[in-house]
Amino acid sequence: MQYKSFFKNNACAMLICKNDPFSTIVEANDAFYNMVGYTRQSMEQVHKNRFANIVCDELTDILEKVSNAINKGDSLDYEYRICNQQGEILWIHDIATYDPVSDVFYVVIMDITYRQVTLESVSKMANIDSLTGLLNRSHLEEKITQEIELLKLSSSFAMCLIDLDNFKAINDSFGHMIGDHVLSTMGEKLSSLFEHNYIIGRLGGDEFAVFLTNIDSIEALSAIAQTIVDSLVCEFRGVVVSASVGVYFDKTGTYDFKSMYEAADKALYCVKNKEKGKFDIQFSSIV
């Protein structure tokens, strides 16, 4: 009787499940049904009391862990996702003990969704430039390096470095708050120009970068660079901010982030010293 009272009234979700491919629920407490949003009757009607039916993650991996735990006589202790009655995804921490006599698992489940959401938020903040919402420099380099490794020798790459012209005049004349607004606006404009598979970030200050793959020709790349120049124009109280763009085109797919960045920076230097608000493209020897 004491056990039944502990099981029924526990604040944690508790289950007794069969050792079958569906983790069929033999018994569950009210905390479990409150967590998943089903009643005892609806769990039976909708899912035939099969706990596996509300699991979102790959069942093969979970069943393998179950099998290993049984063979070793260990308790199961792992985290995965389930879907509640409202269609919301919940992260849960599952601790299960196997009883070989009755061939069932005694399971305690804790909802850790709040923790996962917090971790994802912190991770995102660490990777995103807070002013523009674009990738920050370190994560930009990481993403580009990953993309190069993934597509190396099978794709052409282009690195576009973008530097804002006359931006210092905005900060000097109107203050950094207005300057931040201009940077944010430019970041939004830049994001709107490209599909989601392009890698876009803020390098710092008034410098941005765009990394492109599968560029067919210098003509196509020139059209993209010209679009950036045409789009990144902003006027505030008579001060016009424009963009100079330095581009490096790696047709061979053999360069890394550092070498492409340095080459694009040289192209940008040429633009800034010749005629701002334009673009310049340099490329690998084979094009």
Instruction: Judge whether 120 and 222 are in contact, CB under 8 Å.
Output: no
Cβ neighbours, 10 Å, residue 14: 20
What is d(CA 271, CA 161) in angstroms, rounded to the nearest whole number? 11
Catalytic residue among 206, 216, 230, 280: 206
Burial of residue 109 (CB within 10 Å: 0-12, 13-18, 19+) is buried
Q: Count of alpha carbons within 13 Å of 211, Cβ hemisphere only?
A: 29
Cβ neighbours, 10 Å, residue 168: 13
Q: E strand or H helix at 55, and its extent?
A: none
Whether residue 206 lies in the annotated active site:
yes
Cβ neighbours, 10 Å, residue 20: 11
What is d(CA 139, CA 127) in angstroms, rounded to the nearest whole number? 5
Structure tokens at 206: 């008034």
Instruction: Judge whether 237 and 174 are in contact, CB under 8 Å.
Output: yes
Q: Which residues are catalytic?
A: 206
